[in-house]
Amino acid sequence: MSYQNAPEGDGPRLATSVSGTSVAGERPRAAESASVEVNRQGALAARTPFLSRRWVRITGGLALPAIILVVWQVASTSGAFTSAQLPSPAMVWNAAIDLAQRGLLGLYIAISTQRVLIGFACGAALGLVLGAVVGLSRLADILFSSTLAAVRAVPSLAWVPLLILWFKIGEDSKIILIAIGAFFPVYTTVAASLKHVDRHLVEAGRAFGLNGARLFTTIQLPAVLPSVISGLRLALAQAWLFLVAAELIASSMGLGFLLSDSQNNGRTDRLFLAIILLAVLGKATDSLVGLFERWANRRWA
């Protein structure tokens, strides 16, 4: 507190300190701001749909595999199937341990994954480039579209004898076959989506002086990004399908070879193991595309 001089005849007058009043007033305001922030976050959580919450999605995603595992266990022990027809989950697990102890399980997984990633990268890159050229150029569309549509209809197994004839039984023939499988989904989605980009957006970009690469990265690429990601996911699934086609016929290592070898030797437990590993690896690599999707959305969306 301090005394201030009053007008003449009034005597001294007691005045409160301005700084004291300010400090006293800040505390309620800070508490009020914190309360507002807590309420805002609570309101956002309340507005989040139940099925969109992370823990619900994770739990729900694991529910069906758990149900399948239970049904599988019950069916394998019911006596309706022999162990050669339907091995139990424990038998498949023991087969995995046996292969791991021999050093084959990790080797087969590594070889197949390497082939898929290399073939997918080559096929997807070529699909992105050629798809962009066909989608942006009418001349390229006329020259390439019909021929590539015909080639796309050729089954994967039809390529195997020709690739073996040209490249022998080696890594080249397998990777080329996988690249063929990965190429067409990316090429098709990129070319089709670029043809249907809103012309008004393109014209607006050109009005602002955007041309060539700047127009593509600023206007056209963000517009087709969801389609490109979908094409990459399909291409990755195709890469795993074509891997099995390559390894079933012309390989001595890998998960496709494990499928073929298990069938020939009557090892149904290993056959189931190979199928499960292909499913798990397919999902794992698809998650990598999901990470790329989040990065691409932050970069271009």
What are the domain boundaries of the chain?
Answer: 107-300
Tokens of 248: 């079933």
> Given a cut of 70, is residue 245 above it in pLDDT?
yes
3-state secondary structure of 13: strand
Q: Which candidate, 191, 190, 193, 184, places its Cα nearest to that of 149?
A: 184
Q: Which candidate, 133, 105, 122, places its Cα nearest to that of 255?
A: 105
3-state secondary structure of 2: strand
Span 203-234, pLDDT tens digits: 777 777 777 777 777 777 777 888 888 889 99
Q: Kindly indicate the confidence band of residue 21, based on its pLDDT and cuts at 50, 70 and 90.
A: very low
* DSSP letter, residue 208: T
CATH architecture of 107-300: Orthogonal Bundle (1.10)
Span 147-193, pLDDT tens digits: 999 999 988 888 888 888 888 888 888 999 999 999 999 999 999 88
> Given a cut of 90, is residue 124 above it in pLDDT?
yes
The number of residues making up the chain comes to 301
**If you write DSSP's letter for every residue of 174-203 in order, what string do you get?**
HHHHHHHHHHHHHHHHHHHHHHTS-HHHHH
Q: Say which amino acid occupies 55.
A: W
